[in-house]
């Protein structure tokens, strides 16, 4: 069984991608794991702090327990997503105990998000977590740049935001960041946006994002590590496919599978119906949207 640290780099070298599916509602885990295995692909199943505070996944321990029941490690492995140093409300987070508990549980990769800190602070926090992760033999993901979140406050119109490049990961900072932190994967801002989690916005269709592929190419050259696309739901398909060729080796998908669960539950009135709806979405994404059915062969050789 290969570790995600090696798998994501192998995907990067092969010009393919590892999708990473969030499970804000715990029953989503089983159909996602089944869909990935049925498509003979490889994916990460991940849980973020904002999800166990906002939805019904109940935290890393509950996700780990469900994974032990339903996860096939040859096709899916666990990733701890978005543990912030400063959270969405602007509050400091005691992030090290969260990271350490996940490592003790056996999470195979972890993400520290210091993107709301000044550059030096982000470097220091990421270096600290990278050292912990590497001592445990797992990968550390970090984030640099300001990826906007829908529904988190007033934002300029998307076209204006994209044209200005506001919040994009700066190339010179990215080179320094990777060199000084030792992070394995870097989440970058190149036009992508996070989906909404607030009650008022969480069920709305996401703004269709596009990606600045020239900026992405410069980041790949500057960093020489696998890059990560957060806010993967709703990005223009042609941009996603070009981004995979251009260095994106991991794509986070939350809104599409979460809304599939919610709409399936509403339309059928049953948990089984919701799970069927969830199963269909990653199946379609892997087979049709990303075209990576059977990708385990490309990744594992």
Cβ proximity of 138 and 103 under 8 Å: yes
Cβ proximity of 252 and 230 under 8 Å: yes
What Cα–Cα distance (Å) separates residue 129 from each residue in 47, 98, 146, 180, 183? 17, 11, 20, 13, 9
Query: Residue 260: phi, psi to the nearest 5?
Result: -60, -40
d(CA 77, CA 47): 12
Q: Which of 6, 38, 81, 94 is catalytic?
A: 81
CB-CB neighbours of 47 under 10 Å: 30
CB-CB neighbours of 279 under 10 Å: 21
Residue 81 is among the residues annotated as catalytic for this protein: yes
d(CA 248, CA 68): 29
CA-wise closest residue to 55 among 28, 94, 88, 20: 28
d(CA 150, CA 152): 6
d(CA 172, CA 219): 9
> Which sign does the torsion angle of CA 88, 89, 91, 93 carry?
negative
Paired residues of 113 in beta bridges:
84
29-38 and 60-70 helices, crossing angle to 10°: 40
Catalytic residues: 81
């Amino acid at each position: 069984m290969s570790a995600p640290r090696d798998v994501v780099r192998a995907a990067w070298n092969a010009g393919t991608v590892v999708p990473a599916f969030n499970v804000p509602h715990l029953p989503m885990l089983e159909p996602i794991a089944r869909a990935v295995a049925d498509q003979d692909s490889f994916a990460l199943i991940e849980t973020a702090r904002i999800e166990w505070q906002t939805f019904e996944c109940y935290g890393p321990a509950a996700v780990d327990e469900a994974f032990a029941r339903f996860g096939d490690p040859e096709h899916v492995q666990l990733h701890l997503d978005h543990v912030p140093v400063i959270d969405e409300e602007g509050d400091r987070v005691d992030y090290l105990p969260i990271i350490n508990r996940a490592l003790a549980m056996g999470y195979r990769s972890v993400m520290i998000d210091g993107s709301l800190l000044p550059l030096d602070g982000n470097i220091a926090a990421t270096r600290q977590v990278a050292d912990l992760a590497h001592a445990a033999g797992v990968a550390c993901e970090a984030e640099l740049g300001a990826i906007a979140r829908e529904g988190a406050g007033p934002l300029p119109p998307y076209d204006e935001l994209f044209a200005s490049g506001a919040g994009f990961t700066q190339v010179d900072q990215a080179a320094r960041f990777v060199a000084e932190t030792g992070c394995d994967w870097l989440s970058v801002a190149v036009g992508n946006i996070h989906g909404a989690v607030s009650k008022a916005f969480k069920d709305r269709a996401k703004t269709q994002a596009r990606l600045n592929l020239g900026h992405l190419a410069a980041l790949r050259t500057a960093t020489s590590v696998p890059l990560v696309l957060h806010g993967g739901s709703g990005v223009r398909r042609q941009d996603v496919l070009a981004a995979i060729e251009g260095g994106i080796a991991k794509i986070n998908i939350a809104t599409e599978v979460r809304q599939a669960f919610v709409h399936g539950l509403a339309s059928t009135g049953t948990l089984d119906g919701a799970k069927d709806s969830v199963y269909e979405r990653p199946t379609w994404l892997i087979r049709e949207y990303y075209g990576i059915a059977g990708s385990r062969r490309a990744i594992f050789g």
